[in-house]
Every structure is written in C-alpha cells, then in structure tokens.
Amino acid sequence: MASIHLQNIVKRYGGFVGVQNMSLDIADEEFLVLLGPSGCGKTTTMRMIAGLEEPTEGQIVIGGEVVNDIDARDRDVAMVFQGYALYPNMSIYENIRFPLRMRGIPASEHDARIRKAAEMVELGSFLDRKPGALSGGQRQRAALARAVVRQPQVFLMDEPLSNLDAKLRQSMRVQIKHMQRQLKVTTVYVTHDQIEAMTLADRIVIMNKGAIQQVGTPDEIYSDPANTFVAGFIGSPPMNLIQGTARDGRFTAPGISVPCPRFVHGQVTLGVRPEDCHVGGDNLQGQVYGVEPTGDVTYLTVLGGTNKIEVKAARDYRSDIDVAIGIAFDPAHLYFFDESGQRIRGAA
Amino acid sequence: MRTDAPSVPAGGVASATPDRSGNPPRRRSPALRKAFPYLLLAPAMIYLLAITLYPGLFAIYQSLFVVKFLNWTWTGLGNYSQILQDREFWAALGNTALIGGISLTLQTAIALTLAYFAYRDPLIRGWRIIFLMPMLFMPSAVAFIWKLAFNDGRVISDLLMSVGLVDGNVDWLASVWLARMTLIVADVWQWTPFLFIIFVAALQGQDQEIEEAARLDGASWPEIFWNISLPMMRPVIVVAVTLRGIDITTMFTNVFVMTQGTPGGATETMSYFIYRQGFRMFNFGYASAASVLMLILTIIIAQTVVKRAFHSGKK
C-alpha cells in the first residue's frame, strides 16, 4: 500500500499540452477519482502514474520512491482497462494467473490466490472459459480479479464501467467500492461519469483542459464549487448558470432578480442548482418551456428572458407550455462567479 | 404532375405507384431475373474455368496416356504406378520437402524476429519498402543475382576468404548440402519480406491495451511476445505460412537458373522433375501424372495444417 505524489507534472505532445503543471497528493488507501470531460488529461495522468507514458516534466512518487525512471512492469501498480484487455488466448484462470507467473510468485501459491480473487468478484465458476465466452460484466470482473490477485501497491482504473449497461454499472460500482475498502489499496479511478465519481470517491479531482479545477470530497465539490466549470459539470441536471449584473446587493438578469451579498458587483454569473429552485415565488418570472416527469421527480424548464432555467419540481407537478410561472431561488444556496468564471467568496 | 404528389388521383381511385421518374416500374421476365446473378458471375467464372479448370482437367486426362507428341496411347493408371516406383520422383519429393521445409522454417523464424523488433517502430511505414524490395524483383533476376554471387561471380567465396573462413574458392555445386543451401539462401532472401510484412501488420493490428496490461502485469517484451502476441497471431501465421508453403512446393526458377538439379539430382525439386519429364524427355503423360500427384499432396497437407491450426486455436 502506498501514497502517490504528483509534483508539477507536465505532459506535452509536440505543441499540445496534455497535462499542465499538475500537483496532487493521494493518500495511502484513498479512493481518488479523476473526473472530467473527454480530452481533459485524466487518462494521460493515470497512464503516467502507471508508467505507460513519461511525463515531460515533474516527478511521480509512489510509496516514497521517485518512479519516473522505473519501467511500468516494475512499478507494482495494477490497472483495469476500459476495454478489459484480457488475454484472448488464455482461459480466465490463466488470465488471472498471468501476473503471478510474470512476477515470479511461487507456483504453489497460485491456485489459492486465483480462486480467492475469482471468489471476490463472483467469477469462481467461469475460470475455465476463454474471455470470448463471457459477457461484458463477467469480463470486467475477470479484469478486476487479475488486478487484485497480486496485491499491488496501487490500483488504476481507466473508465472500467463505461462499456457496461446502466444496471450492471450500478452493481459493479458497489462491488468495486466494497473491494477497495476490503483490500485497502490506494486507488486512482478515471471517469467522465459524475455519478461514478460522486458514489465511489473519497476525493474527486475535477480536470479540464489538462488542469485541475478543484480537488475535494464529493460533498465539497457539490456544495462548494470553485468555478463555473465545476458547477456546470457536477449535478444532474447541472447547475443553472445565469449571466447578469450585480449592483447594490441585487443581482438582475432578464426576468430574474435576486438579492446578493454587497461584495458581489459588476458582470457576474449566478449559479443555482435545480433542486434549490422552487415553484411559486418571484425571483424568476417566466414561462414554462417544458415539463419532464421521470417518476420520482419532475424536471421543469422555465424560460426567463433568454435563459432556460432547470427546476426540480414535485413528482406530480404538471403544466402546459407557455404558462406564466414564478420561481423562488433558495437564498442560502446561491453561488456567484466573476467574469473569469471563478467563485466570488466573501472577504473571509 | 409532380413526382412526389400522392399517388391517389383526384377521383379517389388508387393507381399503381409510379417510381420517381413517373414511369410505371420496369418488369423483367422471371427467367431473366433468375439468370441475372449468374450472368453477373459469368465473366469471372469463364476466366477461372479457362485458366485453371481446363488445364487441370486436361492434365488429369493426359496423365492417363503415354504421350509422345501427337501420339497418345491409353495406359490408365500406368503412369501413376510407374511414378510411385520411380526413385527420381521420390528423391525430388524428398528434396522439395527438405529444401522447402528448411527454407520455410528459416523464413518464418527470421520474419517473426524482424517483425518483433520492427512493429513498435513508428517509422516502419517509411522504411518497410526496403524490406519489400527483394519481393519486387523478378524471380529469374533474383536467381541470376544469386547464381552470380555464389558460382559465376564468386562474390560469396571472396567475402568468406576475406574474413578468413575459407582458403580458396568454394564450389557450391560440388556438395549436396552446399548446393541445397544456395537455393535456400536465395528463397529466404526473396520471400522473408512477404512473411515479415504480414506479421508486422498482424502485430500492429493487435489491441494495444492488451500489451499494456501485460506490461503492468510484469511481463518483459519477450514474455509479452511469447505469451500473448504470438498465440494471438496464430491464425495469421498459419495462413501466411501455408500460402508460402504452397508456393515453395512449386519452386522452379531458382533450381532452373542456379543448379539445374545438380549435383546428382540433390537439388531437383518436384517442379523441376516435372519440367524435366515433360520438356526435356517429352513424357507429357508422365509429367502430368506427377503434377496431379503433387496437386493432391499439396491440397491434403494444406487442408490438414489449416484445419488443425484453426481448430486448436478455438475452444
């Protein structure tokens, strides 16, 4: 088990900067999720930790040792790939055994360890099959078993659930989290799915365009976003971001008027989450644009001026379109961002 | 009338749907419709029949006769029974198997080794053309190059002398194994690139994630190649080697140009044996029978190899 430190990591591909000056400390036994849109540098970061790519600048330290010059095979990290990367010519048993063989672990230990790992992912009865004869979920579990069987210092998981259907994804999420807690192995998990990030992570690192936007616990990221990118990325549906003007303790935009702290002024962006908007009130005056019942909640879109505001309404809320409606914003949960998109915080 | 107007006219009576040009659909006669696919296939089939099936059938037919130019005498399976007792036939078959087998083994081994070292080179697209060069030369030109290098021009002898490996000129055609070796060297030189290119393509086509997974599992490059890449390449290797093997059984040009079967028939391959029977001794029936036997043997071997390789690859 080991902690991981990234110190001023830069990765350039010719003129393109994949990861820019990234520093990050990952604690021992922590479950850290790298979250961001495609091309944000999260997979590149993970591949640098794995040793599959070299950082252009900076240091990577695993378990107190600088590993920049250590080959991937000697870093003692195990990785689960998006496409499973099972060896198609070997049975599942041989797949799980491969890292044991390659690392020179005594053959007498193999069988017990393979069966234990397979048991952990509930794959015990499929050991003699080839990967081609398994379903997507079973293959992913086999890939997990192959990663855990040699008890590495670090687990790296690169979007391991993205090829699975929604239902399977949910059950695999729980399984991965349970396994990580059980094995107490430092884990770095890459995903673009915020639900995975929120449910799995001890801490989330949100990345965009190669740079860290915010690091924090899921609660912090959700309730205290550092900038408009984080605010808009986390939450489903995402936070409403409304551009307007703040003056003398009041924020106004077409159809919208809310009180705001006095230190907020000028051209700013108001952020308010759909669940903090309530039908009935006068912060937003607009028309119903659409109503989407989902069963447990109804999403309501309100057109206020040129802004479309998402509102999480009661499950039985129904309305025709173009009906005039007033919305109240919860004053305790309003976020203001400056013109560069950074959060405006009080003098403190 | 607009072509996209509804097909029901104002009177309310539905008409047959016109096609986009407004004309009623064309109808082919049922016989023509049935024949149409065959008509499309006909040119290719005629071509194929003319260049392969007809000569093949003719050879089988001819193999049942003793043929001296226009004088055909029925002998039934006489040619076959005579061939099976012909020492030269068996020697030629043995030579083909030996020279072909060694050559094929060497080519496969060299091509795999080169492919292993080359496929991760991002610049391979640029320089693989150099590897292809030998294959692009005319076989007879290649045979002459090697004939010059080994015998007439004594290039190889000179090179060996200059590094002190031999004392004088080597007569490559004087020894059974040296003569066979010249044929093997020429064949390996010309045809290793064929296998190399196919193997490189197969390796580059493999899922890179699998290789990376193996690296993280602790495997070295040779271990990855041996445990994962090579087994995954198996179908490609089988097909490529089978194709090359079939080609080698018809090895003729090099023998004809370089050794003419000498010394003492030690380099006479099946093709050269058939050529000699047909065009030197004018036993056309006999040569045809040998060709037919060779064809049957090649089909059996190729079928067995491919079948076994693909069956044990599955499971």
Q: Do the Cβ atoms of A185 and A155 come closer than 8 Å?
A: yes
The distance in angstroms from the start CA to the end CA of chain B is 64
A87 to chain B, any CB pair closer than 8 A? The answer is yes
Instruction: State whether B212 and A52 contact (CB < 8 Å).
Output: yes
Q: Is the omega angle on the peptide bond into residue B263 within 30 degrees of 0, that is, cis? A: yes
Mean pLDDT, rounded, of chain A: 92
Q: Residues A277, A240: contact at Cβ < 8 Å?
A: yes
Integer Cα distance of B286 and B60 in angstroms: 11
CA A151 – CA A160 distance, rounded (Å): 19
pLDDT reported for residue A209 = 92
Please check whether residue B192 lies inside any domain of the structure: yes
The answer as to whether B142 is a domain residue is yes
pLDDT at B128: 74
The answer to whether the Cα torsion of B19, B23, B25, B31 is positive or negative is negative
Radius of gyration of chain A measured on its C-alpha atoms: 24
Question: How many Cβ pairs within 8 Å bridge chains A and B?
Answer: 68
Quick check: B96 and B272 in contact, CB under 8 A?
no
Please check whether residues B292 and B260 belong to one and the same domain.
yes
Q: Could you tell me if residue B23 is inside a domain?
A: no
Has residue B35 been placed in a domain? yes
**B208 at interface of A, judged by CB pairs closer than 8 A:** no
pLDDT score, position A8:
94
pLDDT at A160 over 70: yes
Q: Is A110 on the interface with B (CB under 8 A)?
A: no
CB proximity A83 to B under 8 Å: yes
Residues B40 and B158 in one domain: no
Q: Give the per-residue pLDDT at B52.
A: 87
Domain boundary among B44, B78, B112: B78
Q: B7 lies in a domain?
A: no
Q: Are strands A186-191 and A203-208 parallel, antiparallel or unpaired?
A: unpaired
> B215 CB near a chain A CB, below 8 Å?
yes
Contact: A79, B214; criterion CB under 8 Å: no
Looking at residue A172, its amino acid is M
Q: How confident is the model at residue B315 (pLDDT cuts 50, 70, 90)?
A: very low
CA dist A186 and A154 (Å) reads 5
- Report yes or no: A50 at the B interface, CB cutoff 8 Å: yes
Test A72 with B214 for CB contact under 8 angstroms. Answer: no
Q: Closest partner residue to B218 among A83, A85, A103, by Cβ?
A: A103
Per-residue pLDDT band at A42 (split at 50, 70, 90): very high
Q: What confidence score (pLDDT) does residue A214 get?
A: 95
CB-based contact, A79 to chain B, within 8 Å: yes
Candidates A82, A88, A98; nearest CB to B217? A98
Instruction: Please tell me whether residues B71 and B103 are part of one structural domain.
Output: no
Q: Among B39, B59, B78, where does a domain finish?
A: B78
Radius of gyration of chain B (CA): 29
Q: List the CATH number of the domain containing B152.
A: 1.10.3720.10
Matching residue, tokens 């999420």: A173
- Contacting residues for A53 by C-beta, under 8 A, at least 6 apart: A11, A44, A47
> Touching check for A103 and chain B: CB below 8 Å?
yes
Can you say whether residue A68 is alpha, beta or left, with left for phi > 0 and alpha for psi between -120 and 50 degrees?
Answer: alpha
Q: Is residue B6 part of a domain?
A: no
Give chain A positions within 8 Å (CB) of B218: 73-74, 99, 102-103, 150
pLDDT, residue B15, reads: 46
Q: Which residue of A has its CA nearest to B223?
A: A102
* Nearest by CB: A102 against B207, B223, B234: B223
Distance CA B289, CA A135 (A): 54
Which residue, of B78, B94, B113, is where some domain finishes? B78
Closest Cβ–Cβ partner in A50, A78, A85 for B207: A85
CB-based contact (8 Å) between B120 and chain A? no
pLDDT band at A347 (very low <50, low <70, confident <90, very high): low
- Cα(A67)–Cα(A73) distance, rounded to whole angstroms? 11
Looking at this protein, which amino acid is placed at residue A342?
Q
Structure tokens belonging to residue A204:
């989330």
pLDDT score, position A294: 92
Q: Do B231 and A102 touch (CB under 8 A)?
A: no
Same CATH topology for A4-229 and A239-337? no
Number of other residues whose CB lies within 10 A of the CB of residue B246: 14
Domain ranges of chain A: 4-229, 239-337
The boundaries of the domain holding residue B299 are: 80-313
- Of all residues in chain A, the percent with pLDDT exceeding 70 is 99
Tokens 């890179």, residue located: B208
- A99 near B CB under 8 A: yes
The predicted model gives A214-222 an average pLDDT of: 95
Average pLDDT over residues A113-117: 93
Q: Which residue in chain A has the smallest CA separation from B208?
A: A85
End-to-end, the C-alpha distance of chain A in Å comes to 39
Q: How many other CB atoms sit within 10 Å of the CB of residue A244?
A: 21
Same domain, B69 and B92: no
pLDDT at B10: 43
Total of domains in chain B? 2
Q: Which residue has the higher pLDDT, A73 or B126?
A: A73
- For residues B79 and B63, what is the distance between their CA atoms, to the nearest angstrom? 7
What class has domain A239-337?
Answer: mainly beta
Predicted local distance difference test score (pLDDT) of residue B8: 43
Predicted local distance difference test score (pLDDT) of residue B26:
72
Whether the per-residue pLDDT at A185 is higher than 60: the answer is yes
Angle between helices B87-118 and B230-249 (to 10 degrees): 140
Residues linked to residue A271 through DSSP beta bridges, in sequence order: A241, A335
Tally Cβ neighbours within 10 Å of residue A57. 13
B173 and B265 within one domain = yes
- The verdict on B236 touching A (C-beta cutoff 8 Å) is no
Cα distance between residue B242 and residue B281, in whole Å? 32
Euclidean distance between CA atoms B109 and A175, whole angstroms:
46
* Contact between A72 and B212 using a beta-carbon 8 Å cutoff: yes
Percent of chain B with pLDDT over 70: 90
B214 within domain boundaries: yes
Nearest chain B Cα distance for residue A163, angstroms: 15
Quote the minimal CA–CA distance from B208 to chain A in Å. 9
Q: Are residues B116 and B63 in the same domain?
A: no
Q: Examine the domain organization and report whether B148 and B250 are in the same domain.
A: yes
Q: Is residue B99, in this structure, part of any structural domain at all?
A: yes
Q: pLDDT value at position B132?
A: 83
Each residue's pLDDT tens digit, A277-288: 999 888 999 999
CB contact under 8 A, A102 and B232: no
The DSSP element (H or E) to which B148 belongs, if any, is none
Residue B4 scores a pLDDT above 50: no
The tens digit of pLDDT for each residue in A323-342 reads 999 999 999 999 999 999 99
State the CATH architecture for A4-229: 3-Layer(aba) Sandwich (3.40)
Q: Do B150 and B272 reside in the same domain of the chain?
A: yes
Residues B162 and B298 in one domain: yes
Tell whether B147 and B203 lie within a shared domain: yes
Residues of A in contact with B209 (CB under 8 A): 81-83, 85
Q: What's residue B22's pLDDT? A: 63
pLDDT computed for residue B308 by the predictor: 83
Q: Are residues B193 and B252 in the same domain?
A: yes
Q: Is residue A130's pLDDT more than 60?
A: yes
**Predicted pLDDT of residue B195:** 94
Cα(B226)–Cα(B217) distance, rounded to whole angstroms?
Answer: 15
Q: Is the pLDDT of residue A57 over 50?
A: yes
State the pLDDT at residue B6. 45
Q: Is B7 on the interface with A (CB under 8 A)?
A: no
| pLDDT at B99 (0 to 100) | 95
Beta strands A307-313 and A298-304, pairing class? antiparallel
pLDDT of residue B21: 60
User: What band does B122 get if pLDDT is binned at 50, 70 and 90?
Assistant: confident
CA distance, residue B121 to nearest chain A CA (Å): 16
CB contact under 8 A, B218 and A99: yes
The residue in chain B having the minimum alpha-carbon distance to the alpha carbon of residue A152 is B217
Measured in angstroms, the CA of B243 and the nearest CA of chain A are apart by 24
Which residue carries 């030269």 as its tokens? B88
Q: Chain A contacts of B217, Cβ < 8 Å?
A: 73, 78, 98-99, 102-103, 146, 150
Query: Which of B187-201, B268-282, B297-311 bottoms out in mean pLDDT, i.e. has the lowest?
Result: B297-311
Q: Are strands A154-158 and A186-191 parallel, antiparallel or unpaired?
A: parallel
Co-location of B168 and B226 in the same domain: yes
Whole-number mean pLDDT of chain B?
A: 87
Vertex B206: Cα angle to B200 and B207 (nearest 5): 150
A89 closest CB neighbour out of B213, B220, B228: B228
Mean pLDDT of B274-294: 93
Out of A216-220, B46-50, B174-178, give the one with best mean pLDDT.
A216-220
